[in-house]
Every structure is written in C-alpha cells, then in structure tokens.
Structure 1
Amino acid sequence: MREVFQQELQEVQERLVEIATLVATSIENATSAFNESNVALAERVIADDTKIDELTVSLDELAINILARQQPVARDLRIVVSALRISASLERMGDMSEHIAQLARYRFPEKVVPKSLRPTFADMGRLDVDMARKLAELLRTEDVRLAEEIRNDDDKVDALHLSVFDTVLGEKWKGGAEDTVDATLASRYHERFADHAVSIAKKVQYLATGDWIPTED
C-alpha cells in the first residue's frame, strides 16, 4: 500500500508539471497574440484553456481521492493539500493568459495598446513567460533557487505594472477611454499572472525546505 501511495504522490507531481507546462505555452502564445495582433494565435489560447481546466479538475479529483483513501499525515498531507492549492493557482494563470488573448481578439486587426506602451507590455510578457517556464521546472525539481528568481521577476513585473498606471494617468497620455481601459486591464492580467506564480513558488519552497516566506505588503 505504501508503494502505491508513493506512486500516487509522484503522479500528482507529474500532473502539476504537465499543467504548468501548458500554462507556460499559453502565456507565451497569449503575449505573442497581444503584441503582434495575431487573432489566430489568440483563438488558440482561448480554445486551449479548456484543456488546462480539465486537467486541473482531474488533478483535484485525484488529490481528493488520495486524501479519502490514504489519509496522509505530516509532509505527505502537506503535499496533497498544496497540490490542490497549486492547481487552483495554475488554473487562474491559464485564465489570465486567456484574458490577454481575448483583448487581442477583440481589438483585431488593431493592436491593443498605443505604440508608446508596447515596449512595456513586451517586457511584461517576456517576464511572465520566463516565470512560467521557471515555475514548471521548479515543480519538477524543487530547486529553490528558481523560487527566488521567480520572486525577483515578480518585482520587475510590479514595477512595469505601476509604470503603466503612471503613463495612463499622466498629463502626456493621448490615448482615449478604450486605450486606457485596455492598457489597465492588460497590465493587471500580467501582474496577477506573476502573483500566482509567486504564490506557487512559495508553496513549493515551503515543501522543499520547511521555511515559509511571508507575503510582503
């Protein structure tokens, strides 16, 4: 029974890595669709989010089944409970990617944001993609150095997010109401994507080391 239990825990980890890998692909395609006004790529992101949702539900069912049958304790219990919370964050990251793709689809054939903000969103997208890739590797290896890198990347995303607000609220902003709303929403989606990545990284780091990193205000 113990061997079966360990195999089930391994399956939980493998499923988390699979979902995280799909999320990384999703945000990469979403940012490309957003920055390039690629409606076909945007449609792919939106359609593929269903698979992320389905895999998340399947993983949750597995985790709940393990809790009911195996009644794990100590670290094993933390692993299963953390998997439920991590899967929820991964699902939300997939949703953020979908929202970014939806903005690209709605504004096609125009680009979503004015030219002055495009370099900022290109940087935010690049950082989110890097964080998602690191997150998948972190879930696979539990290399806590990746958790620190993810937190550092999140600081950069936060700074870019604030710069978007400074721009759209500044006196030099020439965008209309639609431009302001789109830029604000897109920036928020990128920022929330990064926040979920940090949340997962903290949980994995705690499982690996036993040290909890408090959330900063």
Structure 2
Amino acid sequence: MWVRVNVREKPAKVTKQERILRIWVEETTSVLELRELIERRLTEEGSATEKRSGKFSLQLIFSGQILAVDERALSEIGIKKDAMVHCLASLIVELEGQQQLTCFPKHCSVDGGRIVHILGEHFPDTDRAACRFGRVVTGASIEADGSEGVSQLRCVAPAHPAGPVTLSLSFDGGATWMEGPTFWYYDPAVCSAGYSLCVPAECGAGSLLVRDAIRRLVLH
C-alpha cells in the first residue's frame, strides 16, 4: 500500500520548504523500516533547503503523536492506505577533516553547572541536539546555525569526576556522535590552591605537571 509522507525540512531557507513523498509499504512494515525508507529516499534526492545531499535526522508524527522508532507494525498504530505521516527532517552536516570543534570555557568544577558554548560550522537547526561529557549526556540548544557565520551551540556541563573528558555533539538525539575538544574537570575541594586535579601521590613528578597545567587553564 502507498502512504504519504509530508516532509518539512529545518531550517527552511527556501520558499518550497515542504514536499510530499509517496512510500510503498506493507501493513506489516514497522515504524523503524518506514523511517529507513524515508531516510533512503531523502538521501537519494538530497536536501531541498541546503541544496546538497547527506544524512538526515528524522522525527515522525502521526495523528498528532510523535512516533517512537521501534518494531511496531504500521497497522498497529492505525497507519493505513493513503494515510498521511508528517516528518520533520534536519540535514546532518558532517565536518570535514580540516574543520574542528572548539568550546569555551574549557573547564569546570566537578559540581558542573557551568554554561559551555561549542563552535563549529553548519550545525543543523534541530531540537534534538545533545552534548556528551565523557559518557555523561546532557541536553543542548542551537544558538546559531552558521547561516550568518560560525555555528554555536549551548549546553550546561554536568557533574563529573575530576580529569579530562572528550566533549562530543549529537544532532539526532544521541544516535550518532561527533567528537570535539577535550574538556577538563577539576576538584577545588580536594586539591591544593583550589585549582588542581587530585592526582595520586604515586604518580610522582607527573602529578605536578598535571596540577600546573590545570592551574594555568583555570586562571586563564
């Protein structure tokens, strides 16, 4: 059977921001399979707003409800012949090798709570952005999508043990991640002068080097 998919791309940079796709499915086709069919079609046709191809972050909506991407058959949720499914699509732009993500500030206490800004190029305008500090995931919001220059994203650093972590970004709710700069956590309550990482004594002279590095980082 045929179902209609009303695709709306974000951000909308041209007048024709919506398009209707006709997708052939079976009643036993799952929501996950429908999403894959739509993604494949969009990848083949490319973005209508960005004038280029690439991977898409998709959000499916039917009868006013956001569909969980799972193994449920379309017939189970009432999607029948000629049904209309709405789809919000954001083009995921992969950074080229010479492009790098940067952030400011580059450090935070182990208690977290500090606002962090991440800079890059061509961030998609999506409400599914997220940051990951090491393995801890937190929500994020796009402040500038790069249409007028550098892209900028904002998040709040979560609490984390002292030490360096990799700061990563996701624009599809955590399905895929883009690794960014190193972010440092320090514990002022444990270490001397309030600026140092707590390094075990057996690390010897190396601990002094780490402490000096963190002290310079925090002071600047």
TM range (shorter): under 0.3
Instruction: Pick the structure with more helix per residue.
Output: 1
Larger Rg: 2
- Give the TM-score taking structure 2 as reference length: 0.21
Instruction: Pick the structure with more strand per residue.
Output: 2
